[in-house]
Structure 1
């Protein structure tokens, strides 16, 4: 079941008695929650028929008992069981006991006057009996990060619905600055909507003005300039980061992390891995992997390893040498650029 199809069903009033939401895309969690609330409580949320439980501090028995009770002043009650880690391989908080047998019994005949929603932002433990039962009896939605084209469509639909025109250059700038993350992109899109107002047009210049680059993006730019052998531009970017108050030791740590990712991508590419598989293997954002793939395809693995080793040595020097850390980093940049 796709998230778009399920949202349409909810808005039509076709609501399941039990949902299981899992994944890491926060925006999609919010979309499902808002759709359920809007459909069940069209006149506004009725707190007497709405419950929110943190499963780190609430027992499953309490949630099931609430689900069995009739709602007040509403046709149905809505219950969210957040952070349901008992459905994963993670250990639950001490002192909170979850009697899954009660939930298993409830799933055999869920209350017709209750919509019970379990939310978990971790991978499910498919070996657990309760997870198998939920997959069989509940509506299960995986809310994982979307592919680049899907995020692009979400944004285009959002701006279209708001009556805002955005050209492809502005859209790409927004996507790049938010790492193609739907949650980040939609948060920034709302800022753009407010800023544009009645003008109805969003330009690349406005995106650049409104959506700040992240430190990761600055480090990627710095790394790219170093790997291109562009010492002058790399030193200017470094100077800008210093003026922003960034720690040189912290910047080098991020540089090391970036080069490590490049090495991992280079090795996995040589073994025939594709972008999605590399992202899964490294745990990196798929967009970062895509950029890294473009950067390392023509690079020599031995040179990457040498740069990685020298950056680790630089880290040691910065922490132990009496020399100025800025000078050390500048010398490092010029040395690496000279090898490219």
Structure 2
């Protein structure tokens, strides 16, 4: 069972002495935080509950409430929000003395207090406090889900929302949402509002879900690669009207072509998809989304390594020319697209 589903089984009566909610997937974290508040029936006007934002309030004040007896009830729920000191975030709101006192509380928690600690970000496993919490508390982490867990969770969500997807369309939803938890959640809501009968087709995905900048840049790249220059110019004009800057557009396109080149080179050395993900993650120093690799392999199939190198060089030179003020950036950007298209067609 994934963490967000565990929260669904929690209530004011079964919550433990200490519960921690943390995680790097901030979209999922926000959903889990909202559901946790619902699960424990949080009410800011109810004296059974106390809420402290540690980024704004002094720990000494929160500590007094943590250790005091409940008022007209068997127990009370105390919430410490933005406890960044537990994460790898460089922000720190508690001094060493306060952290020592909190550690002492964890060693002997008050049995009439139910403490909820909210820490957006990655828990710092090297900290003694985090080790103690992982040993003695209920720790829920909003981290990127495995594909199978992501699909299973949202299949349940779609069923509860009364949505029925035609064959292959559920996959389109995931692709459209970049396999991002919060984007899938948001797009399911779009579909539910858009299609009252709940029957979702491929056309509904394209019509109901707004295009992201990444979607538009992907379309732009495909237009250029296919030599559809007029269509590419129209899309660029629309993006400029929406306030997008040419330098930002170049950076995103450059990122796409670099990914194409990286997977092509690794694939040419006999690497399979999972090996490419591992190698790129190691090279870039961050976990690469496996779906990025899957789609980059698919979309770069007809592109040669030599062509990709030329396209990347063109984009880098254009970026430099824009930033040094050689010519108007709109002109330079349009010329770059023409060069990339012409090289592909040559």
| TM-score, normalised relative to structure 1 | 0.82
Matches of 1:193 and 1:77 in 2, distance apart?
Answer: 38
Q: CA RMSD in A?
A: 3.4
- The answer to whether structure 1 residue 76 and structure 2 residue 75 are counterparts is yes
Q: Give aligned pairs, total.
A: 338
Note if contact 1:266-1:296 (Cα within 8 Å) is conserved in structure 2: yes
Distance in structure 1 (CA, Å) of the matches to 2:246 and 2:333: 8
Are 2:7 and 2:32, in contact at CA under 8 Å, matched by a contact in 1? yes
Alpha-carbon offset, residue 146 of structure 1: 1.9
In structure 2, what is the equivalent of residue 140 of structure 1?
A: 139
Which deviates further from its counterpart, 167-176 or 207-216?
167-176
Residue of structure 2 equivalent to 1:304: 308
- CA shift for structure 1 position 53: 2.4
Partner of 2:171: 172
CA drift of 1:212 comes to 0.7
Q: What is aligned with 2:90?
A: 91
Counterparts of 1:33-48 in structure 2, within 5 Å, are 33-41=33-41, 47-48=46-47
Native 8 Å contact 2:21 2:33 kept in 1: no
Deviates further, 118-127 or 180-189: 118-127
Q: Which residue number in structure 1 is paired with residue 246 of structure 2?
A: 248
Q: Which moved more, 1:94-103 or 1:14-23?
A: 94-103
Are 2:20 and 1:17 aligned? no
Check 1:224–1:77 CA distance in 2 against 1; reply closer, same or farther (3 A cut). Answer: farther
Once the 2 structures are TM-superposed, how far is the Cα of residue 27 of structure 1 from its aligned partner?
A: 5.1
Out of 219, 222, 228, the position equivalent to 2:220 is: 222
Aligned to 2:338: 334
**Counterparts in 2 of 1:213 and 1:277: CA distance versus 1, 3 Å:** farther
**Cα separation, partners in 2 of 1:108 and 1:325, compared to 1, 3 Å:** closer
**What is the rounded CA distance, in whole Å, between the counterparts of 2:215 and 2:110 in structure 1?**
49
Q: Using structure 2 for the length normalisation, give the TM-score.
A: 0.81
1:275 to 274, 277, 285: 277
Residue 168 of structure 1 deviates from its aligned partner by 3.9
Tell me, which stretches of 5 or more residues in structure 1 are unaligned? none
Instruction: Report if the CA contact (8 A) 1:60-1:100 is conserved.
Output: no
Indicate how the Cα distance of structure 1 residues 325 and 38 shifts in structure 2: closer, same or farther if over 3 A, else same. closer
